[in-house]
Amino acid sequence: MKYFMKVLGILLAGLAGIIIILFLVINHFFFSMSKLPAGEFLTESQSPNGEYTVKAYVSMSGATVADAVRAEVVFQNNNKKKNIYWGYRQSTAEINWIDDHIVSINGVELDVRKDVYDFRKE
């Protein structure tokens, strides 16, 4: 009986490991903001203090999928880029700065230091 429980425990741990790895792989390839298509440049806007620049791009995937807007923030102090906005069924981007760190992209307010909007997670 102890041998059976040991084997069952190992099998369950292995199955849990496989499920976790599968979840991480699916999340990385299908839901990661870093894997978004580049798209064509639309517009950009610099923050009032000049620390950040938000650049917007439209991804036109063709007749079977609607357009989507991707926006990235560029940190001027180190030129690092981070995707912060992914909106589906959109082909334009309206970027308005609320203050030095808060930006409104197509009506969605984001703190460029920490917030991300992804329509797939709504």
Mean pLDDT of 38-58: 91
Task: Convert the pLDDT of each residue in 59-86 to its tens digit.
Answer: 887 667 788 899 999 998 888 989 899 8
For residue 16, give both structure tokens. Answer: 């849990």
Question: How far is it, in rounded angstroms, from Cα 62 to Cα 75?
Answer: 32
Q: 60 near 40, Cβ under 8 Å?
A: yes
Count CA within 13 A, CB hemisphere, residue 40: 5
Question: To the nearest whole percent, how much of the chain has pLDDT over 90?
Answer: 42
Q: What angle do CA 108, 109, 114 make, to 5 degrees?
A: 120
Q: What is the pLDDT of residue 121?
A: 78
Instruction: Reply yes or no on whether the pLDDT at 39 is more than 90.
Output: no
User: Sorting pLDDT into bands at 50, 70 and 90, what band is 97?
Assistant: very high
Instruction: Kindly indicate the confidence band of residue 98, based on its pLDDT and cuts at 50, 70 and 90.
Output: very high
Which tokens hold the place of 45? 């806007």
User: Rounded distance, CA 104 to CA 89, Å?
Assistant: 18
Residue 46 buriedness (CB in 10 A; 0-12 / 13-18 / 19+): middle
